[in-house]
Structure 1
C-alpha cells in the first residue's frame, strides 16, 4: 500500500509542467545563431516536468551522442538517425549552409576526407522541450582533427605544418518529433573563438 501511494504521488508530481516563465520563445532559436550571452535565456531551469518530457529529453541526448560516433567513424549514411530528410545545417565558414540530409552527408564526407581521423567531444549541454513535437538544444563541443605530418590541406584549404587542428564551438539545434523519433531539423554550428581552426603541434 505504501509503495502504491508513493508511485501515485510521484506520478502526480511529474504531471504538472512548469516551464521557465522568462524563457525566450523557442521560435526565436533558429535560423539565426544565438549569441552565447543570450543562450541562458532559452534554457532556464524547468521544474516538475511530465515523465514524457523527461523521456523526450533523454531521447534527444542519446541522438546527440550518436553524432560524434557517426562523424568520427565516417559512417555518414547513419546521419539519417540524427537529421530529418529536409534538415538545414549551417556549418559556418568554411562549409556554410547545407540543405537536405543527402547534401549534409556528402558535404561532411568531403570536408573530412583529408584528415587521418577526428574526435568530437561534447561538453555542457541543455535540452528544452517546446511542445509535443518540437525542442531546442545547445551542446558545447571540441573537435580534434588529425592531419598527416606536413600535409597542408584541410577544410577551407587550411595551410599548416602541424599535425593537429582544434575547433571549439556549439551545436545549436532545433528538433522535430516525426513518427515518434526526435531528429534535428535545423543546426547552427557556432564557433566560440575568433578563428575556426587552432593549429597545435
Structure 2
C-alpha cells in the first residue's frame, strides 16, 4: 500500500481547492459580467496588505457612496463625480449598454422619471486595487422604486403609496484613477433575482 507523505498530501489538497489559490487578473474583470462563483478568485485577501491600498480602497468606497444620493436625489449631473467621461455602463435589459457619461446620466434620468421616489441601499462591497491607476469592485445593492398612484408622477404621490418595485443585484465596476480621482470606466449591473412588485 502506498503511504502519502506530508508534502504529497498538501499538494493534493491544494489542487482540489482551486478557489484558495487562484487569483484572476484584473484585466479579465470586464467587459463581460463575472459569474458569482468566480468572484472570490478576483478578491483574494492578499490584495489588502498595506496602508496605501487601504487608502485607495476607502477613496473608492467614499466615491461609490455618492451614487444612491445622486440617483435618489435626481442629481444626475453629479454622476460626473463617479463615472469617467468615456465610461461604459451595461445596465442590462431594458436599458442595455450605455456609452459615455452623458448617455448614462440622460438614460437613468429618463428611466427613473416615472417613479415618484426611489431608495438604493448598498450592501457588502469588496475593492481590489490592481495597480496605482486601476481597481475593480463588487457592490451588492437593493433598489426600491415607489410606483405612482393613478398614473400620476410627483413627490405628492409618495404619501399613501403602497406599491413598490424591488430590484436585487450587484454592481461590478472597473475603476481608473484620473487627475487624482478614482472614476468608474466600466460598469456591469448584474441582476440576482427577477424584478419583484410588492406592497410597501
Give TM-score scaled by structure 2 length: 0.82
Q: 2:196 aligns with which of 187, 198, 201?
A: 198
Compute the displacement of 1:152 (Å).
9.8
Pair 119,129 (structure 1): closer, same or farther in 2 beyond 3 Å: same
Conserved in 1, the CA contact under 8 Å of 2:129 and 2:136?
yes
What are the Cα deviations for residues 2-58 of structure 1, in whole angstroms up to 9, with x where unaligned? Answer: xxxxxxxxxxxxxxxxxx963110000000000111111111112662322111000
- How many residues get paired? 173
Compute the displacement of 1:174 (Å).
0.2
Conserved in 1, the CA contact under 8 Å of 2:176 and 2:185?
yes
Conserved in 1, the CA contact under 8 Å of 2:47 and 2:129?
no
Q: Which runs of 5+ in 2 are unaligned?
A: 1-19, 154-161
Pair 186,63 (structure 1): closer, same or farther in 2 beyond 3 Å: same
What are the Cα deviations for residues 57-113 of structure 1, in whole angstroms up to 9, with x where unaligned? Answer: 000000110000000000000000000000000000110000000001100000000
Compute the displacement of 1:151 (Å).
3.5
Q: Distance in 2 between matches of 1:132 and 1:52?
A: 10
The equivalent residue for 1:186 is 186
Q: Distance in 2 between matches of 1:80 and 1:48?
A: 28
Q: Distance in 1 between matches of 2:43 and 2:177?
A: 19
The equivalent residue for 2:131 is 131
Deviates more, 1:45-54 or 1:66-75: 45-54
The equivalent residue for 1:85 is 85
Conserved in 2, the CA contact under 8 Å of 1:126 and 1:137?
yes
The equivalent residue for 2:96 is 96
SS of 2:141's equivalent? strand
Moved beyond 4 Å, runs of 4+:
none
Q: Distance in 2 between matches of 1:52 and 1:22?
A: 24
Decide which structure has the larger Cα Rg and report it.
2
Conserved in 2, the CA contact under 8 Å of 1:150 and 1:163?
no
Q: Which runs of 5+ in 1 are unaligned?
A: 1-19, 154-161
Pair 109,48 (structure 1): closer, same or farther in 2 beyond 3 Å: closer
